[in-house]
Structure 1
Amino acid sequence: MFRLKKNPESKEDLQLLQEYRKQGDLDVLGQLFERYMHLVYGVALKHFSDRELAKDAVNQIFERLIVEIPKFEIQNFKSWLFVVTKNFCLMEIRKEKSHRNRFEKFSADQNMESAEFLHPIDEMTNSSLEDNLKHCIERLKLEQRQCVVLFYYQEKGYKEISEELEFPEKKVKSYIQNGKRNLKICLEQIESKHEV
């Protein structure tokens, strides 16, 4: 049976991989990862359409390799890394959708405001809006910020937040409602500045 010759680069990949498995030396893993960092960045950029998010993804994927490599029998590091990167990006996008759904669900449950209220927070379709939202969250009062982050980003319920932060449940609800109102105001201020 005809077989393609293995190219020397893939052999080197396997040698580095074996060396890393034996010694657990992160410099060796770094050397291997560096060869394909452009590929990881390219895949992440394609999925996120945001350079900063793509750079963050590169770092997170490197950290993930430390955990994932021992679990798998890897024959072709480049192909395997491509799959790991793609899966990571898809999981992050799915998480982001789940956060958006959380905002929508909360708005529907609370019946706090009209449907227009959903616009700035719930329809985070572009990265600048997400950046603005992060900026506005940072500007919230500490208690509001803690409650909003735990509720929307870590998907914890009122009771869990109440226990974790040692606030009464009513306070937690109040902090989330006020935090959400303040986020809306902050986002609207940013939008009006851009329109001027």
Structure 2
Amino acid sequence: MIHFAVRENAAWCDLVCATHGRPGSLDTDAWSVSRRSPPLYPDAVTLRPGLDAGLLRRIDAGPGASVKDSYADLDLAGHGFDVLFEAQWLHRPPGSPVGHEALVPVTTAGDLKAWAHAHGGGSVFRPDLLTDPRVRILGLADGHGGWSGGAVLHDAGEVVGVSNVFTRDAAPEQVWAGVCAAGAGRHLVGYEQDADLATARRHGFRTIGPLRVWLR
């Protein structure tokens, strides 16, 4: 299942980069972009274990470059990179939701701008995402025209990727319950760390392998 999670994440990164006019390239080894990716997104995602630093030839490897080491086995320490963070890939098999669906679709450019502000990603999230049938941007309305939490679901065929889960004024449990309700009946994949990892596991996700992100 980890291979499905990795490839879904690479496809999501490619989709986001494409909305910024920077579509990536894909082969059996990795997904990558030759120009710097938007903020919060990697310049490369490894698609199999056992790669080496030759991957850096595919990207602009100068300051600010980042690589998602999907199998946590790539050593870039000798090439000017440090580990930005480590996390765990997650999988939730199809099943009943935990709680009810509290998240609602974000459908307009104005709502997306407010959602992105609440998320912290700002202009990373372009309106083109709203017209892609594979993408559901979901939010927990705060009752005042804004958003107190949210997430993105990306349908990659065999699995649905869960990413960009955030909370402001909402309880994390409420947002994760909404994610599970929105994705009920599908294999859900993603990755998390720290408190969000613990919350996801309480909602039926299990860890399926480690990853790390390297930053120069």
Give me the TM-score of the superposition, normalised by structure 1. 0.23
Higher relative contact order (CA 8 A, sep 6+): 2
Give me the TM-score of the superposition, normalised by structure 2. 0.21
- Structure with bigger strand share is 2
